[in-house]
Amino acid sequence: MAYNSREVRESNQMVFGIRAVVEAIRAGKEIESLYIQRGIGGELLNELRALTVEYNITAQLVPVEKLNRLTMKNHQGVVAYISPIIYQKVEDIIPQIFEKGEVPLILVLDAITDVRNMGAIARTAECAGVHAIVIPAKGSAQINPDAIKTSAGALYKIPVCRHDNFMQTVKFLQESGLQLVCCTEKTKENIYAPDYTAPTAIIMGSEEDGIRNDIIRIADHLAKIPMFGEIESLNVSVSTAVIVYEAIRQRSAVN
């Protein structure tokens, strides 16, 4: 279910050269990643750096060899990738959900790094009617063609909100009246215990480290998926589907 969504059907396009990247940013393109060669300078590069501050774009300083591997053309020490989607702000989406008389169901992904997991999760979220996905600006998988393909196009349809201050964004959700339900093994409570008919943000952790402790500490509920086999772990995209559809089951039962 998309709120104020603007669908963009472009590929994860490479832009290289300082002027070309400057113009892409000024044109409002979403920069997925930006690489700048270490040690270079100049007036135009200073303009680019000023724009990265103005538009909250994270630039990675890299050796020239990395840029040469990305493209053999004259990159002038700068290569960027334009995102295939337009990111939104969850602060804009939450009021719209309440205004429509709906109960928010937000999916928060704490540093999911695998693009295929990202795509699979987005597909589940869109099918389940999740209102939006929230991700951190740093340490999260790129929304690239692989993620788009794995999502079966769902990433074009569901709002994705990317935020620099991730912890502040999570607190905003809680202050807006959403309960924070962390899917984690660090609890005895299972995923069937919380009441998902209330405004809810379901939080899923990274493949390696799980949910950061700062979020665990402020969560309203910690909930784990019951395990009865020997492996005792599920892929994060499967885990997301399990807990999201428990929320949908509960919500369907009262409608």
* Domain stop point among 24, 54, 82: 82
**Domain hosting residue 37, numbered range:** 14-82
**Alpha-carbon gap, residue 200 to 33, rounded angstroms:** 31
| pLDDT, tens digit (0-9, with 9 covering 90-100), for 90-115 | 999 999 999 999 999 999 999 899 99
| Residue 176, token pair as written in the block | 């807006």
132 SS3 class: strand
**CB burial of residue 85 (10 Å; 0-12, 13-18, 19+):** buried
**Does 33 lie in the same domain as 145?**
no
* Domain stop point among 55, 82, 109: 82
| pLDDT, tens digit (0-9, with 9 covering 90-100), for 15-74 | 999 999 999 999 888 888 899 999 998 999 999 999 999 988 889 999 999 999 998 899
pTM of the model: 0.83
* Domain stop point among 59, 82, 105: 82
Q: What is the CATH number of the domain that holds 24?
A: 3.30.1330.30
**Does 94 lie in the same domain as 78?**
no
**Does 205 lie in the same domain as 235?**
yes
